[in-house]
Structure 1
Amino acid sequence: MVTIKEIAKAVGVSPATVSRVLNYDPALSISPVKRQAIIETAEALNYETPRNRNKTNGQPASSLLTKLVIVHFLEPSDEIADPYYIGVRLGIENRCRDLRTEIVKVFHSDALPEASLLEDASGVIVIGKHSDNEIEWLANHTRQLVFADFDPKDDRLDSVFADVGLATQKILESLRTGGYKRIGFIGSHENLNGTVQQFAERRCVAYIDWQKRHESFDPALLALSDCSSGQSLRLDTGYRLACDLLALPERPDVIITSNDNMAIGTYRAIREFGLAIPDDIAVISFNDIPVAQFLTPPLTTVRIHGEHIGEVAVDLLLERLSGRPYGKQVRIATELIWRDSCRNPLES
Structure 2
Amino acid sequence: MVTIKEIAKAVGVSSATVSRVLNYDPALSISPVKRQAIIETAEALNYETPRNRNKASGPVAPSLLTKLVIVHFLEPSDEISDPYYVGVRLGIETRCRDLKTEIVKVFHSDDLPEASLLESAAGVIVIGKHSDHEIAWLRQHARHVVFADFDPKSDHLDSVFSDVGLATQKILDSLKSSGYKRVGFIGSHESLNGSVQHFAEKRCVAFIEWQKRNGTFDPDLLVLADCSNGQSLRLDTGYRLARDLLALAERPDVIVTSNDNMAIGAYRALQEAGLSIPKDIAVISFNDIPVAQFLTPPLTTVRIHGEHIGETAVDLLLERLSGRSYGKQVRIATELIWRDSCRKPLDL
Deviation string, structure 1 residues 6-29 (Cα, Å, up to 9, x no partner): xxxxxxxxxxxxxxxxxxxxxxxx
Q: Which amino acid aligns with 1:276?
A: S
Deviations 1:117-158 (A, max 9, x none): 101100000000001111111111110110000000001000
* TM-score normalised according to structure 1 size: 0.82
Tell me, yes or no, if the aligned pair for 2:74 and 2:231 is still in contact at 8 Å.
Answer: no
Q: How does 1:187-336 map to 2 (within 5 A)?
A: 187-229=187-229, 231-336=231-336
Tell me the SS of whatever aligns to 1:86. Answer: helix
TM-score w.r.t. structure 2 length? 0.82
Contact 1:188–1:232 (CA under 8 A) maintained in structure 2: no
Give the Cα–Cα distance (whole angstroms) in 1 for the partners of residues 229 and 103 of structure 2.
Answer: 23
Q: What is the 5 A alignment of 1:1-348?
A: 60-229=60-229, 231-346=231-346
| Partner Cα distance (2:233, 2:284) in 1 | 15
Following superposition, the deviation at residue 60 of structure 1 comes to 4.4
Structure 1: distance between partners of 2:335 and 2:229: 25
Instruction: Give the CA deviation at 1:61.
Output: 4.2
CA distance in 1, matches of 2:285, 2:341: 10
Counterparts of 2:262 and 2:222, CA distance in 1: 14
Distance of 1:333 and 1:85 partners within structure 2: 17
Tell me, in whole angstroms, the C-alpha distance in 1 between the residues paired with 2:106 and 2:61. Answer: 24
> Equivalent residue of 1:155, what SS?
coil
In 1, distance between residues paired with 2:218 and 2:140?
44
Give the match's secondary structure for 1:129. coil
Q: Give RMSD over aligned pairs.
A: 1.2
CA distance in 2, matches of 1:206, 1:154: 21
Shift of 1:227: 2.0
Say if 1:330 and 1:162 are closer, same or farther in 2 by CA, change over 3 A: same
CA positional deviation for 1:274: 1.1
Across the two proteins, how many residue pairs are aligned to each other?
290
**CA contact 2:74–2:232 (8 Å) conserved in 1:** no
Sequence identity of aligned pairs in percent?
82
What secondary structure, in the 3-state scheme, does the structure 2 residue paired with 1:345 have? coil
1:230 Cα deviation from its structure 2 partner: 5.3
Report if the CA contact (8 A) 1:67-1:122 is conserved: yes
**Deviation by residue 1:243-283 (Cα, 9 ceiling, x = unmatched):** 00010000100000000000000000001111100000000
Q: Distance in 1 between matches of 2:347 and 2:206?
A: 25
Give the distance between the partners of 2:215 and 2:346, measured in 1 at CA.
24
> 2:313 is aligned with what amino acid?
A
Residue ranges of structure 1 left out of the alignment (5+ in a row)? 1-58
- Tell me the alpha carbon deviations over residues 79-120 of structure 1, each in whole angstroms, 9 at most, x when there is no partner: 000110000000000000011100000000111111111011
Bigger radius of gyration: 1
Letter paired with 1:174: S
Q: Give the unaligned 5+ runs of structure 2.
A: 1-58
Give distance in 1, aligned partners of 2:194 and 2:301.
Answer: 31
Contact 2:82–2:232, Cα closer than 8 Å, also in 1: no
The CA distance in 1 between the partners of 2:100 and 2:251, in whole Å, is 54
Counterparts of 1:299 and 1:60, CA distance in 2: 40
Contact 2:277/2:297, CA 8 A, preserved across alignment: yes
Q: Distance in 1 between matches of 2:197 and 2:266?
A: 24
State the alpha-carbon separation in 1 of the partners of residues 176 and 247 from structure 2. 23
Question: In structure 2, do the counterparts of structure 1 residues 232 and 81 end up closer, same or farther at CA, with 3 Å as the change threshold?
Answer: closer
For 1:175 and 1:144, the matched residues in 2 are separated by 42
Determine if contact 2:60/2:318 at 8 Å carries over to the other structure: no
SS class of match (1:297): coil
Q: Which amino acid aligns with 1:243?
A: R
Letter in 2 for 1:69: V
> Residues of 2 paired with 1:64 and 1:218: CA distance?
54
Output the amino acid matched with 1:144: H
| Contact persistence 1:190–1:198 (CA under 8 A) | yes
Whether contact under 8 Å (1:118, 1:124) holds in the other structure is: yes
For residues 139-192 of structure 1, the C-alpha deviation after alignment (integer angstroms, 9 at most, x for no partner) is 111101100000000010000000000000000000011111110000111110
Q: Cα gap change, 1:250/1:232 in structure 2, threshold over 3 Å: closer, same or farther?
A: farther
